[in-house]
Amino acid sequence: MRRRISLAAGAAALTAALAATAAPAVSAATPQPGRSQSVEYFTGPDGHPRHTTVPASPTPPRSLRSSVRGDGDVISVVRNGPVGSKLDVVFVGDGYTAAQQGDFHTAVRAKWAKMSAVEPYASYKNLFNVWAVDAVSHDSGVSGDPGKDVVKDTALRSAFFCDGIERLLCVDTGRVESYAAKAPAADLVVVLSNSTKYGGAGYNDVVSKVGYDGIATASSDNAKSDQIAVHETGHSLGKLADEYQYDEYGTYTGAEPAQANITRLSAAEMTAQRQKWYRWIGRTSPDGGTVGAYEGGGYYPKGLFRPTENSIMRTLGHEFNLPGREAMIAGFYRHASALTSDRRTDTAVGRGERLTVRLSASSVAVRWYVDGREITGARGRLSVTPRALGVPDDHGAHTVSARAADGTDAVRDPLLRERMRGALTWTTAR
């Protein structure tokens, strides 16, 4: 539970801590000589993204602002099940003072509501836990907002005009990882920087020590910045490639890409070879148009094909196309289970004890079994007792199992469908 303090006490603690550390006001992290990292940025809410390289963040100090009361506190925003069986999203705030952490929590709820309204997130809301990690900043707001000359001292060093690009919102990724590690688990990390200015970034080559791939940044109070975060999760969760191109890249001549949404093959070749998104060819896609093979993608205007004319992996404001949705669902199930329960399976249950399960989506069906035999009358029930299932009162040990399978029509890959199953088994007390 998050600790509550008076505004006066919080301000006093913050002032004392900053005086002790004498942290300078800086617009971005001091770079490490000789090291760099690629970032993706967005010049506008309706345009194609672009890439650039910025200096890598330094190794963060072992202790950030742990002496500031409330710094590093973690609150649960959405709780759908045990850590380890759900996909855990961690939001870290920047540019929020001790007195503004409530504003950060409000921003997290608003941003997650918009992100989780996008398919396939909308259909799989039950798969996610959401955490907010408080990072207490000396100044309110972020550097570069509204102009290049504005410099703020913030916990994560958020700054617009990174690499001279106004909409590129950089952070100190080492500091982000230090804060994200305070959450119970982190599968996906989003930094919300306290600003109304449009901007963000995707650090897709950051591989963390605590298990997540990449960091997305977005301004907290811009109505369209959530699209940046959703696009970046296409990379981190869906392992999707960008579907846009740069004219200067010319023609692709390399090997077949590993990503599910770009290929060297034509539609006819995919179908003949049963490769990539051949199962979706000819289907109407939610991003508009028909799934086929459209030249241009993976940054190359020639030699690579994408599934549809325009999707969120090409232009913000669009939907994931059908192959992209399938890849995102695969990403969800890499971290989460179709079937979970708060009732542990390593302890015996009594005949009258209630067993309750949670399903990952409405497309998931659950069945119940006693000693391996299905109890057909219990199909679809989320809560049962062993007695109601017919476990006999014979003082013997019996097993009660729940098995679930996701039958969504958004997945056509049979190998993926096998991963979209779950099973839990309990033993009844003698």
Instruction: Please say if the pLDDT value at position 2 is more than 90.
Output: no
- What number is the average pLDDT over the span 391-404? 94
The answer to which of 210-214, 359-363, 425-429 has the lowest mean pLDDT is 210-214
Greater confidence, 287 or 44? 287
Q: Output the CA torsion sign for 323, 189, 128, 415.
A: positive
Instruction: Please say if the pLDDT value at position 64 is more than 70.
Output: no
**pLDDT grade for 135, boundaries at 50, 70 and 90:** very high
| Adjacent-strand bridge partners of 422 | 404
Largest CA distance in the chain: 79
Strand order in the sheet with 364-370: 373-374, 364-370, 399-406, 421-427
DSSP E strand stretches across 346-392: 355-356, 358-359, 364-370, 373-374, 383-384
**pLDDT grade for 67, boundaries at 50, 70 and 90:** low
- What number is the average pLDDT over the span 404-414? 98
Q: Rounded distance, CA 104 to CA 327, Å?
A: 31
- In this predicted structure, what is the pLDDT of residue 59? 58
Greater confidence, 388 or 82? 388
Instruction: Please say if the pLDDT value at position 206 is more than 70.
Output: no
- In this predicted structure, what is the pLDDT of residue 8? 34
**b/e code 40-56 from CB counts within 10 Å (16+ = b):** bbbeebeebbbeeebbb
Greater confidence, 16 or 112? 112
Greater confidence, 49 or 353? 353
Q: Rounded distance, CA 317 to CA 315, Å?
A: 6
Four-CA torsion 135, 141, 143, 145, nearest 10 degrees: 150
Where are the alpha helices (H) located in 212-364, listed in sequence order? 226-236, 267-273, 322-335
Q: What is the pLDDT of residues 358-377, one digit of tens each?
A: 999 999 999 999 999 999 99
| pTM of the shown model | 0.87
- In this predicted structure, what is the pLDDT of residue 210? 58
- In this predicted structure, what is the pLDDT of residue 49? 80
- Amino acid at position 387, single letter: R
Ramachandran region of residue 324, left (φ > 0), alpha (ψ -120 to 50) or beta? alpha
Instruction: Please say if the pLDDT value at position 173 is more than 80.
Output: yes
Beta-carbon count within 10 A of 30 CB: 12
Greater confidence, 140 or 6? 140
Task: Look up the CATH number of domain 7-236.
Answer: 3.40.390.10
- What number is the average pLDDT over the span 131-143? 97
